[in-house]
Structure 1
Amino acid sequence: MHWLIALIGLTLLGTFGLGAYLEFRPMTDAARVARWWKGTLAGNLLVFATASIALLVSGIDSALAQEAAAAHGEISTGLGLALLGAGLPTGLAAFGAGLAVGPVGAASLAVISEKPEMFGRTLIYLGLAEGIAIYGLVVTILLLGKIA
């Protein structure tokens, strides 16, 4: 089971490392980047999702074979995976909210600089974009209520 956790951890660290590298050393040719990103991003997402699901499925027997958690506060592998799964909605919703707030915030600043009376409307749109993260948090709370 430890090899599974190590492999998933290394996959995530590699993904974060590549993201940080591309953030600080972006490519310069815009046309080449647009063409390159479409195929590469789709391929990377497909490989990452497939490998992660395959690793989790291959380790599910080990996780389900664990005995129930003892009264001394021990956490079984199955419970640990359930808690990680319960936290995923918050993380993914926060990521989605960040993707939504970026363009909406930039457009809001552009509109406010031209028409200051539109400030209230732009706040509503930003609030709707940030609501995505709240929905993820609510789902996580509901899942934690079912687990514990």
Structure 2
Amino acid sequence: MYWLTAMIGLNLLLTLGVGIYLEFRPMRDGVRAQRWWRGTMAANLLLFVSASIGLLALGMHDAVAQETATAHGEISVGLGLALLGAGLPTGLAAFGAGLAVGPVGAASLAIISEKPEMFGRTLIYLGLAEGIAIYGLVVTILLLGKIA
């Protein structure tokens, strides 16, 4: 099971490394870059998905077999996975709110520059987009209440 975790970690580190390398030395030839990206992304996706499925299949027994908390406050695999699952709603909701606030904020700035009296209305739209993150935070708080 540790080799699958190491494989996923190595995959993520290599992806970050390639991204940093291409940030400083971008490819100039468009056709060569397209072919290279297609093969690289396919291999990366295949490795990541197969390692994740293998980790779930082989690691599920270890996570289910242990108790959720031990006597001396140690965190078991099951409790760690539960805490990770409780944190996912906040992270995903914050990501979604960021995707929503970007275009709404740009449109708000554009309309305020033409019609300053629309400022209050644009704040309402921005507040609705930010509400997505608050919903994720509420779900995380409810899940943490169930875990403890």
Smaller-chain TM-score bracket: 0.7 to 0.9
Deviations 1:35-84 (A, max 9, x none): 99xx89x9699755565344323311122222453221111111111111
Question: Counterpart of 1:59 in 2: which secondary structure?
Answer: helix
Aligned length: 142
Q: Is the contact between residue 7 and residue 51 of structure 2 (CA under 8 Å) also seen in structure 1?
A: no
User: 2:57 maps to which residue?
Assistant: 57
- Tell me, what secondary structure is at the counterpart of 1:71? coil
1:69 pairs with 2:61: no
Structure 2 residue aligned with 1:94 = 94
C-alpha displacement of 1:27: 7.7
Instruction: Confirm or deny that 1:108 pairs with 2:108.
Output: yes
Listed as ranges, the matches of 1:76-91 within 5 Å are 76-91=76-91
**1:1-148, aligned counterparts within 5 Å?**
1-14=1-14, 16=16, 47=46, 48=48, 51-148=51-148
Larger CA Rg, structure 1 vs 2: 2
Does the Cα contact within 8 Å between 1:112 and 1:119 map onto a contact in 2? Answer: yes
Give me the whole-angstrom Cα distance separating, in 2, the residues matched to 1:124 and 1:59. Answer: 46
Q: Distance in 2 between matches of 1:98 and 1:140?
A: 18
Q: Which runs of 5+ in 1 are unaligned?
A: none
Determine the C-alpha separation between the residues in 2 that align with 1:82 and 1:128.
Answer: 29
Kept in 2: contact 1:4–1:55 (CA 8 A): yes
Tell me the distance in 2 between the aligned counterparts of 1:106 and 1:78: 43
The residue type paired with residue 129 of structure 2 is A
RMSD: 3.3
Residue 8 (structure 1) shift: 3.4
| Distance across 1 between alignment mates of 2:25 and 2:98 | 21
**Cα gap change, 1:69 to 1:137, in 2 (>3 Å):** same
